[in-house]
Amino acid sequence: MINAAITLLRKKGLKPTQQRLAIYQALMTSRDHPHAQKIYRKVRKKHVTISLNTVYNTLEAFKRAGLIGSVKVLHDESARYDPTVDPHNHIVCMKCKKVTDLFEKKLLRIPTPSEIGGEFKIMGYRVEFFGYCRVCAGASP
């Protein structure tokens, strides 16, 4: 609901502008970790004059507020945005670049390698699988 989004943005100190609400909706209803460009095209259907820069600014503001996440995967240059902030990992198709969530709990409890010793203060880690999705595995290389 739109009012919930307004309240949420206000709570984070972000003015709930039309643009921000549209971008928030666009990302939250995505299951494919879209690029900024894709969100831009989606939002522009209603907000014809929105600028790509605003999309970037808004997504970064959402990220700083902890409302969304972002993913950078191998085999794909540009940044993807993630409506899910709960800890999870990803698997990427090396051909079509589709990024799929992995909520497997075992991946969230990997012990810190003793090899690291006292050399690093660990803040986190990520696991990224790569391979071919069902569609691409069946197609020609």
Partner DNA sequence: TCCTAAATAGTAATAATTACTAATTGTAAA
Partner DNA sequence: TTTACAATTAGTAATTATTACTATTTAGGA
Q: Is 19 in the site for DNA (CB under 7 A)?
A: yes
Q: Which of 25, 30, 56, 63 binds DNA (CB under 7 A)?
A: 56
Q: Which stretch binds DNA (CB under 7 A): 17-25, 91-99, 111-119, 131-139?
A: 17-25
Amino acid identity of 9? L
| Residue carrying the six token digits 């899910």 | 84
Q: Pick between residue 37 and residue 112 the one whose CB is nearest to DNA.
A: 37
Q: Is 60 in the site for Mn ion (CB under 5 A)?
A: no
Q: Which does 140 bind (CB under 5 to 8 A by kind): DNA, a copy of itself, Mn ion, none?
A: none
Q: Is 101 in the site for Mn ion (CB under 5 A)?
A: yes
Amino acid identity of 14? L
Listed in sequence order, the residues at least 6 apart from 58 whose beta carbon sits closer than 8 Å to its beta carbon are 19, 20, 23
70: buried, middle or exposed (CB in 10 Å: 19+, 13-18, 0-12)?
Answer: middle
Contact between 70 and 61 under an 8 Å Cβ cutoff? The reply is no
DSSP type of residue 99: E
Q: CB of residue 41 vs a copy of itself: minimum separation in angstroms?
A: 24
Q: In the range 59-88, which residues lie near DNA by CB under 7 A?
A: 60-61, 77-79
Q: CB of residue 88 vs Mn ion: minimum separation in angstroms?
A: 6
